[in-house]
């Protein structure tokens, strides 16, 4: 690939042994279309094998390569160096998360908060069908639209790193978890409306949001967590005024008629060892 120019990578690295940051600068030959992630891989392969950063899919799908690029949380794999229009780019680890090494942070608090809103469809009946599906729930294209935008979340934590409230209140659920609560509320298969509104109705939930909108600004998938949080607030008020009731989730489509000669397709089986046991534990804990 033809080198267009050299760009300086100023990397703010967390040094765990010293408990402080150190800034290292590397010169990277850049070709047209080269991404920040490819720049980091170049440095690791050619200049400093000790440099630590996370990456996996390289196509803005897994969401693990999020870092702060020139002051803004972005995905390294989908940010082209030349698009930054600068001869020097500054890279830092994501904020609001515990530091591990160099550009690597620990996403545990982010996923713990996501867990609290119960990020799965809740059903009160037809539990056999829930765990061993044989049919589909009725859902029209319009009903899919209700939550589709919010289901695009990559769990990249860019919104969490950009959120000033998450930066100042460690108990704040954060934009992704709150958005995800709304994602399931908006899904007509779900029957956890009142339970989820109870979880988010607190100063550390939807009422903690300052509506700065940074979360929506940095989201690489256009999910718009700030919008979801405002809808949650409206729903909490409606619930308190007695306008909202638990709804009955979408019903199952009727069984397909038996047609001779057509092979019956079995429902998928659990493929990961221990997954069935884990699913049963969740059922006992949250759904029974």
User: What residue spans of the chain are helical by DSSP H?
Assistant: 36-46, 108-116, 127-131, 141-148, 158-162, 164-168, 175-185, 193-200, 214-218, 225-240, 275-282
Of the residues 39, 93, 192, 225, which one makes contact with ligand SF4 according to CB under 6 A: 225
Of the residues 69, 186, 215, 235, which one makes contact with ligand SF4 according to CB under 6 A: 215
Which long-range contacts link 169-172 to residues 24+ away (Cβ below 8 Å)?
A: 169/204, 169/208, 170/109, 171/204, 172/204, 172/208
In eight-state DSSP terms, residue 86 is: -
181 lies in the binding site for ligand SF4 (CB under 6 A): no
Identify whether the C-beta of residue 155 lies closer than 8 Å to the C-beta of residue 221: no
219 lies in the binding site for ligand SF4 (CB under 6 A): yes
Q: How far is the CB of 91 from ligand SF4 (least distance, A)?
A: 18
221 lies in the binding site for ligand SF4 (CB under 6 A): yes
Q: Which is nearer to ligand SF4, 161 or 250 (CB)?
A: 161
Give the integer Cα–Cα distance in Å for 235 and 46.
54
Q: How far is the CB of 51 from ligand SF4 (least distance, A)?
A: 24
Stretch that binds ligand SF4, among 12-20, 22-30, 33-41, 203-211 (CB under 6 A): 203-211
Tokens representing 232 are 């949650």
158 lies in the binding site for ligand SF4 (CB under 6 A): yes
**What is the b/e burial string over 253-273, where b = at least 16 CB atoms within 10 angstroms of the residue's CB?**
eeeeeeeeeeeeeeeeeeeee
Of the residues 93, 175, 192, 205, which one makes contact with ligand SF4 according to CB under 6 A: 175
Stretch that binds ligand SF4, among 76-84, 100-108, 123-131, 217-225 (CB under 6 A): 217-225
Of the residues 37, 81, 103, 163, which one makes contact with ligand SF4 according to CB under 6 A: 163
Instruction: Tell me which residues touch ligand SF4 (CB under 6 A).
Output: 63, 153-159, 162-165, 175-176, 179, 209-215, 218-221, 223, 225-226, 229
């Amino acid at each position: 690939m033809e080198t267009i120019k050299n760009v300086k990578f100023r990397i703010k690295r967390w040094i765990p042994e010293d408990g402080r940051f150190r800034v290292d600068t590397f010169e990277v030959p850049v070709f047209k279309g080269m991404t920040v992630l490819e720049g980091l891989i170049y440095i690791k392969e050619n200049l400093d094998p000790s440099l630590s950063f996370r990456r996996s899919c390289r196509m803005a799908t897994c969401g693990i390569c999020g870092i702060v690029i020139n002051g803004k949380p972005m995905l390294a794999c989908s940010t082209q160096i030349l698009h930054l229009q600068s001869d020097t780019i500054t890279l830092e680890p994501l904020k609001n998360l515990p530091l591990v090494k160099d550009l690597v942070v620990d996403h545990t608090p982010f996923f713990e908060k996501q867990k609290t809103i119960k990020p799965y469809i809740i059903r009160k009946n037809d539990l056999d069908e829930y765990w061993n599906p044989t049919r589909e729930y009725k859902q029209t294209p319009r009903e899919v639209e209700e939550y589709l935008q919010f289901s695009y979340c990559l769990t990249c934590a860019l919104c969490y790193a950009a959120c000033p409230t998450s930066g100042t209140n460690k108990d704040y659920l954060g934009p992704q978890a709150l958005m995800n609560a709304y994602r399931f509320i908006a899904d007509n298969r779900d029957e956890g409306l009142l339970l989820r509104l109870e979880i988010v109705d607190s100063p550390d939930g939807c009422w903690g949001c300052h509506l700065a909108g940074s979360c929506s600004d940095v989201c690489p998938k256009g999910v718009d967590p700030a919008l979801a949080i405002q809808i949650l607030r409206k729903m909490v008020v409606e619930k308190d005024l007695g306008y909202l009731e638990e709804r009955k989730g979408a019903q199952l489509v009727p069984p397909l008629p038996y047609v001779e000669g057509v092979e019956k397709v079995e429902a998928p089986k659990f493929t990961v060892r221990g997954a069935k046991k884990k699913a049963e534990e969740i059922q006992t804990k949250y759904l029974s």
